[in-house]
Amino acid sequence: MNWLDRIAPQIDGSAGARLFEGPVINPLRVIANHELFLFGPGDARMVIAGQAYACACDSFVIVPPGVAHISYVESAEPVMVHWAHFNWEPVGTRGAGRIVTYMPEVPDARTFRPAPDYVPRQIFHGTVRRARVYELHGRAARLYGRQDARARRLSRAIFLEELLELLLPEETRLPAGSLEIVWADKCRDRLSRLADEPLSRATPVKAALRELGPGYPHLERLFRQVHGLSPLQYVNVLRMERIKGLLRDTDQPVSHIAAELGFADASYFSRFFRRRAGCSPRAFRAIERVPKVPGGLQGAGSG
């Protein structure tokens, strides 16, 4: 299995875009989670753990936690920077942990959220090959800024698509603006609505996509090629995000959550959750409610 098939990223802290006139974009600092940078018009440079990275227009960098880095404007004109702090997997609400520590202050390593073991240990640095990445980033950031649970779930799904656009090998991608991408996006919109339906009354995935016109095998292939996962996997990612939100943010009994979401019984609900999260719903709730490290929340990101 490709490691990208396993990620379920979530924005954590801040996301947005801003024009920087320089000379410094971010002073020397360390972050507690990961941060994605997309560079628009202009030229910039990042120095990460002593290694310099050229950041011309349409380039990206992902900085891991615990690594000192600084970024500069290199061109005479300002540089547009898009950013998002994130985790590769859902880890719950941040609580009071500090995200950014500016040097020479010493960061608290207990607040770091490293990548899962299956994510390659490297600085991801490459080219933004499609303009739609910026559109996806803007949509994910705007939805993340809203407080309702559905918007946050959709933000995670769109941010996953953004990372797959950046990190999937080029041969797996389709041309920007192609008819295939148009159909794949129609599928995504229909599947997002499907994920909100109670499971007991939900339209089967195949039937939901057949409503769009073309046959399911064709749409399934296009969706997997554009978004990096199958339609059913996508729906289950959204369902799991909703389940985790209810476990994390409410005191409803597990059996009530199962009934609210349309599962036939609590036993099936627990099996569904354990198969995808690796633990029971009750264990997940207990882990998420472990007290956070004390400390003030500091403004994060490049904004």
pTM of the model: 0.64
- For residues 143 and 237, what is the distance between their CA atoms, to the nearest angstrom? 17
CA dist list (Å): 229 to 82, 172, 184, 221: 25, 12, 11, 10
The predicted structure's pLDDT at residue 302: 57
Task: For residue 12, report the phi and psi dihedrals to the nearest 5 degrees.
Answer: -145, 95
* Cα angle, residue 118 at apex, residues 102 and 269 outer, rounded to 5°: 105
Higher pLDDT, 216 or 181: 216
115-121 mean pLDDT: 92
The listed CATH number (3.30.530.20, 2.60.120.10, 2.60.40.420, 3.40.50.880) that belongs to domain 3-129? 2.60.120.10
The whole-number pLDDT of residue 20 equals: 92
Tens-place pLDDT, residues 144-153: 988 788 888 8
Q: Under a CB-based contact definition with an 8 Å cutoff, are residues 201 and 208 in contact?
A: no
Give domain limits for the chain.
3-129, 174-291
The band of 296, judged by pLDDT with boundaries at 50, 70 and 90, is very low
Long-range contacts at 289-296 (CB < 8 A, ≥ 24 apart): 289/248, 291/95, 292/94, 292/95, 292/96, 292/97, 293/95, 293/96, 293/97, 293/108, 293/110, 293/111, 294/96, 295/96, 295/97, 295/98, 295/108, 295/111, 296/96, 296/98
What average pLDDT does the chain have?
Answer: 85
Per-residue pLDDT tens digits for 221-248: 888 877 777 899 888 888 888 898 888 8
Provide the CATH number for the domain formed by 174-291 in this structure.
Answer: 1.10.10.60
